[in-house]
Amino acid sequence: MKAITLFSSAGIGDLAIKASDIDILVANELLSDRVSLHRRNFPETKMIEGDIWEKKNEILDTTLKLLDGEELDFIFATPPCQGMSKNGQGKLLSGIRNGTKSKFDKRNQLIIPTLDIILELRPKIVLFENVPEMENTVILDENENPINVIEYIKKRLGSEYAGKAEVVQFADFGVPQRRSRLITIFSRLDHIKEYLYRNNSLIPSRTHAKNGGRNLQSWITVRDVISGLPKLDSKNKELVESKIPFHKISVLDPIKYWWVENTPPEKGAFDNQCVNEKCGYRENPTHGATHDHEGINRANKTTPLYCLKCRELLPRPSAKDKETGKLRIMSGYTSAYKRMAWDLPSSTLTTNLSYACSDQKLHPEQNRVLTLYEAFKLHTLDQFPYVWEHENGKIAKDTSIREVIGESIPPKAIYLIIQHLLQCLKKEAAYTMPDQLSLIR
């Protein structure tokens, strides 16, 4: 089988396609450092670097030339999600309200050239991956008319294709990470259409659940995956590195280390209590967030930084107020400086996964953040052959690795979905499809 991938990044999703014995003829990516990683790991693929708007014809011409008259089986497309994600929507909403941003994010319109390519190549199967918010995203179409992006996909693909958008929790498929994504699959093949009609889904049945039961396994947890690794500590340089490649961390400055070392299991530093040996008061109000008059969720600014009983400074994240020079509770997400739970899959790995101030990225018990090596395992990258090297042999920078992981999909999840679709293709149609099939298009 033959495929192309769009918005291919460094090829993390492409690993699942290659593992499914599908040849990736062409890939397209905008950012040079990710292009270089992709070329190193997929030397047999023709990588076309650049903006999809500008490279659309080159992608089409190259693919058609390599197909040499054969049909294309598969297109995997992962348009940028910053304009659709909760973080992106929050920034967009704020920008719209203060007049600095347009109501419609142009990044969301990258679906237009994507569909131009799909319609020209007529692949048998199309798979989109994006954040769940994509389902409710409105874009401007090629005629500047607002339309829901999923409805736009259906409209452009027409009656030849049938498909569905479904939110998938990857922890339910044996991925040790609680990461939800919108998986949108369309096909023009009768076997796939029939399966969709009969099951109202193109996603395989889940194999795992939080507590197992009913022939389901329990979620794979952080403890299952990283508990046996060498211990590290971010206090000083002698404690931050192991002999395992990428199993290393940075030293935290003393004040941040103080916040972290006093954070209990499964708790966040914003809720830390008094550590004064003569006091030890445990009833200081904890942190939280509330929606303001504009509907924006904001962290409370009145959370105490000093013990209500002894007035000693609490080990809670703080910063100096620019106007008064006094310490105040740090702004940001209430889940910052929070420990992961040992007995759950990890929280979603983001591009800030190596920062203590990111969302639930503290080690469950050690005084540090996750290492990249631990992120590889929680992202199922350790189950696929991949090297973090550029074309010239240089090792990728930690920043690039974090960004690639944070913006990619765990390859095991895509592999299982592709395997399910391939199984559907192998099954003979049990009966002629009724006309009601149009109801699910």
Q: What distance in Å separates the CA atoms of residue 384 and residue 42, rounded to the nearest whole number?
A: 13
pLDDT tens, residue by residue, 9-59: 999 999 999 999 999 999 999 999 999 999 999 999 999 999 999 999 999
Task: Return all residues near 4 (Cβ < 8 A) that are at least 6 apart.
Answer: 24, 25, 26, 27, 28, 59, 63, 72, 74, 75, 76, 121, 123
CB half-sphere exposure, 85, CA atoms < 13 A:
16
Length of the chain: 441
Percent of the chain with pLDDT over 70: 89
Instruction: Tell me the angle at which helices 111-121 and 52-67 cross, rounded to the nearest 10 degrees.
Output: 20
Is 387 exposed, middle or buried (CB count within 10 Å of its CB: 0-12, 13-18, 19+)? exposed
Residue 53 is predicted with a pLDDT of 95
Q: What is the pLDDT of residue 96?
A: 47
| Residue from 269, 275, 228, 221 nearest 367 by CA | 269
CA distances from 283 to 127, 278, 313, 362 (A): 51, 15, 14, 24
Q: Which among 77-86, 299-308, 388-397 has the top mean pLDDT?
A: 388-397
Whether residue 430 has pLDDT greater than 80:
no
Q: Look at residue 137 in the predicted model and tell me its pLDDT.
A: 82
- Whether pLDDT at 301 is above 90: no
pLDDT tier, 158 (very low <50, low <70, confident <90, very high otherwise): very high
CA-closest candidate to residue 378, choices 343, 349, 415? 349
In terms of CATH architecture, what is 2-215+410-440? 3-Layer(aba) Sandwich (3.40)
CB-based contacts of 172, cutoff 8 Å, min separation 6: 206, 207, 208, 209, 219
Residue type (1 letter), 420: H
Residues ≥6 apart with Cβ < 8 Å to 383:
411, 412
pLDDT in tens, 202-251: 999 999 999 998 899 999 999 999 999 999 999 999 999 999 999 999 99
Residue 411 pLDDT exceeds 70: yes
The answer to whether residue 102 scores a pLDDT higher than 70 is no
Separate counts of helices (H) and strands (E) for the chain: 12, 15
Percent residues over pLDDT 90 in the chain? 76
Give me the mean pLDDT over the 97-113 stretch. Answer: 68
User: What's the confidence (pLDDT) of residue 71?
Assistant: 97
Q: What is the radius of gyration, based on Cα positions, of the chain?
A: 24
Better pLDDT: 146 or 70: 70
Query: Residue 171 corresponds to which tokens in the numbers above?
Result: 């922890």
Provide the pLDDT for residue 425.
85
β-pair type (23-29, 2-6): parallel
Distance CA 83, CA 70 (A): 36
For residue 125, give the amino acid letter: I
The domain spans of the chain are 2-215+410-440
What's the rounded Cα separation, in Å, for the pair 363 and 369? 5
Averaged pLDDT score across all residues of the chain: 89
Please identify which residue in the block is written with the tokens 């029939």. Answer: 194
| 267-291 pLDDT tens trace | 999 999 999 999 999 999 999 887 6
pLDDT at 437 over 50: no
* Beta carbons of 201 and 193 less than 8 angstroms apart: no
Chain Cα centroid distance, residue 229: 24
- Would you say residue 296 has pLDDT above 80? no
* 206 vs 172: CA distance, rounded Å: 5
Q: Is the pLDDT of residue 101 over 80?
A: no
